[in-house]
A and B are shown apart, each in its own frame.
Chain A
């Protein structure tokens, strides 16, 4: 039982990191950035290239850390670019317009990746030893440990950032009342750009971490993006703790679904959708979402 919980938590924390990207951007723009998954996929590829290049010169674990930073930076850069050319010009357009722009970008990015990197999946070749560690009945792989440690640290840091810092408070202000935020002297464009940077950097970390156990391929972002989006909706889109909760919950339930309820592995992904339907029927605004009627 505990083993499944641990495995579920590991997957869930990945979902949570990606879900944060959706929820942060939704918070400030009230818009679902459907290109988020593909942006993190590109970051993961960049990290892979950097890693493969550096690995021959330096210690693989150091190369891996540099690769993560490179992946975060390139995802962030790409997100800023996308925001500038594909979303900002549509800021005052009907809400469907940026949404379609995002979906279009998602298709463009995954196809471009297939064109440049090929459709064959690649992997990070053992940045460090992955011999499982046994604690009584519990088996933990170092990868799992790394995923849990990294994602939990990032979530805690994000929490304090949003709560305590000047920019974090400004993000909350823009999220609640963008017009009033401007009157306070907050440059909303700057805050929105920063939100994209933050969300996509977190996403890139998730993409890289998940590729340790799986692989890197051009549609990597689509499924993890979809799952994380569901996690964000389950937790309450726009709510930061909700994204974390939704991600972990989804990961744990998926793992339990397969291991305890005996759902065939092939149907594992359906757990997320069933959960989404239940939540939408029972609590449409998500577990931690507010019931405020949205005014446009």
Chain B
């Protein structure tokens, strides 16, 4: 369970997040929707410690991971704690091969047998990555790169997966494929997922609940099915 409790984040004088509260329950896919600059990416960055909180705290399974008052978990330990972020633009290491990227995902693991098992699991789930394992990751197509970014983060078996715009720049058919994979990961491994996605319709269809952000604030939250039929949401985010 992830509980974001009344957090605020400032960039200098500008307040990027205003008293944001958000909950992800076990086995849940939660989508976070809102316009550009609403603060969605900032929220993801705050969870993994790439932004400092000016107020509030964040708890993972009732244990505080971020706050303003005490020692925080550094970003490079978040994956050990079970939180993986697939950043916007995928963030693959393009000068490294596909398999080296996967190896980097296993950096926090020490057990060679476990690494081997995980690798096998990833290559079974993403056969295209196995086919291209010795290629430079930069030579993959956008969709393949997104698969690689997800597979790489899954190597460390996170309990919570944060996805920042996984469909960005992909063809509609690829977006659907990536979304199906996300649902599958959630169903099979019980991974909690926080999904930030521009494509509101697809995000809501693939999630259990949704939060709507505007100007750094959560303005609405509900079951995704309810949000899909909400007249306000329809007007603002679903194109009528």
A interface residue numbers (CB < 8 A to B): 166, 169-170, 172-173, 176-177, 179-188
Whether the Cβ atoms of A177 and B93 lie closer than 8 Å is: yes
* Of B79, B87, B96, B108, the contact of A172 (CB 8 Å cutoff): B96
Whether the Cβ atoms of B79 and A184 lie closer than 8 Å is: yes
Whether the Cβ atoms of B95 and A183 lie closer than 8 Å is: no
Whether the Cβ atoms of B76 and A187 lie closer than 8 Å is: yes
Whether the Cβ atoms of B48 and A183 lie closer than 8 Å is: yes
Residue of B nearest to A190 (CB): B76
Whether the Cβ atoms of B84 and A183 lie closer than 8 Å is: yes
Q: Which residues does chain B contribute within 8 Å of A186, judged by CB atoms?
A: 76, 104, 107
- Is B91's CB within 8 Å of the partner chain A? yes
- Is B85's CB within 8 Å of the partner chain A? yes
**Bound: A186/B106 CA distance, A:** 10
Whether the Cβ atoms of A177 and B76 lie closer than 8 Å is: no
Whether the Cβ atoms of B79 and A183 lie closer than 8 Å is: yes
**Bound: A260/B56 CA distance, A:** 72
A selection of 15 A-B contacts at a CB cut-off of 8 Å is A169-B104, A170-B107, A172-B96, A173-B104, A176-B95, A177-B93, A180-B93, A181-B104, A182-B75, A183-B48, A184-B79, A184-B105, A184-B108, A185-B79, A186-B107
- Is B181's CB within 8 Å of the partner chain A? no
Whether the Cβ atoms of A183 and B107 lie closer than 8 Å is: no
Chain B proximity of A27: nearest CB distance (Å): 11
**Bound: A186/B101 CA distance, A:** 13
| B54-96 interface with A by 8 A CB criterion | 74-80, 84-85, 87, 91-96
Whether the Cβ atoms of B96 and A182 lie closer than 8 Å is: no
Whether the Cβ atoms of B94 and A185 lie closer than 8 Å is: no
**Bound: A272/B78 CA distance, A:** 47
Whether the Cβ atoms of A183 and B85 lie closer than 8 Å is: yes
Whether the Cβ atoms of A177 and B96 lie closer than 8 Å is: no
Whether the Cβ atoms of B93 and A172 lie closer than 8 Å is: yes
* Of B79, B94, B100, B156, the contact of A169 (CB 8 Å cutoff): B100
- Is B152's CB within 8 Å of the partner chain A? yes
Q: Which residues does chain B contribute within 8 Å of A180, judged by CB atoms?
A: 87, 91-93
Whether the Cβ atoms of A183 and B78 lie closer than 8 Å is: yes
Whether the Cβ atoms of B50 and A179 lie closer than 8 Å is: yes
Q: Which residues does chain B contribute within 8 Å of A176, judged by CB atoms?
A: 93-96
Chain B proximity of A85: nearest CB distance (Å): 21
List 18 additional A-B contacts (Cβ < 8 Å) besides A169-B103, A184-B104: A166-B107, A169-B100, A172-B100, A173-B104, A176-B94, A177-B91, A180-B87, A181-B104, A183-B75, A183-B78, A183-B79, A183-B153, A184-B107, A184-B108, A184-B152, A185-B80, A186-B107, A187-B76
**Bound: A176/B101 CA distance, A:** 12
Chain B proximity of A86: nearest CB distance (Å): 22
Whether the Cβ atoms of A183 and B94 lie closer than 8 Å is: no
Of B74, B92, B107, the most chain A CB neighbours within 10 A belong to B107
In the A-B complex, the 8 residue pairs with the smallest Cβ-Cβ separation, listed nearest first, are: A185-B108, A180-B91, A185-B79, A182-B75, A182-B76, A185-B107, A184-B104, A187-B76
Q: Which residues does chain B contribute within 8 Å of A183, judged by CB atoms?
A: 48, 75-76, 78-79, 84-85, 87, 91, 153
**Bound: A184/B85 CA distance, A:** 9
* Of B92, B96, B156, the contact of A185 (CB 8 Å cutoff): B156
Whether the Cβ atoms of B87 and A188 lie closer than 8 Å is: no
**Bound: A180/B79 CA distance, A:** 11
| A169-B75 in contact given A184-B108, A185-B156 (Cβ < 8 Å) | no
| A185-B93 in contact given A169-B100, A179-B50, A180-B87 (Cβ < 8 Å) | no
Q: Which residues does chain A contribute within 8 Å of B94, judged by CB atoms?
A: 176
**Bound: A184/B92 CA distance, A:** 11
Residue of A nearest to B45 (CB): A179
| A169-B96 in contact given A179-B50, A182-B75, A184-B107 (Cβ < 8 Å) | yes
Whether the Cβ atoms of B104 and A170 lie closer than 8 Å is: yes
| B143-200 interface with A by 8 A CB criterion | 152-153, 156
Chain A proximity of B150: nearest CB distance (Å): 13
Residue of A nearest to B96 (CB): A172
**Bound: A177/B86 CA distance, A:** 13
Q: Which residues does chain B contribute within 8 Å of A185, judged by CB atoms?
A: 76-77, 79-80, 107-108, 156
Q: Which residues does chain A contribute within 8 Å of B95, judged by CB atoms?
A: 172, 176
Of B50, B103, B104, the most chain A CB neighbours within 10 A belong to B104
Q: Which residues does chain B contribute within 8 Å of A184, judged by CB atoms?
A: 79, 104-105, 107-108, 152
* Of A166, A170, A179, A187, the contact of B87 (CB 8 Å cutoff): A179
Chain B proximity of A118: nearest CB distance (Å): 46
Q: Which residues does chain A contribute within 8 Å of B100, judged by CB atoms?
A: 169, 172
**Bound: A4/B78 CA distance, A:** 56
Q: Which residues does chain A contribute within 8 Å of B80, judged by CB atoms?
A: 185
**Bound: A247/B216 CA distance, A:** 52
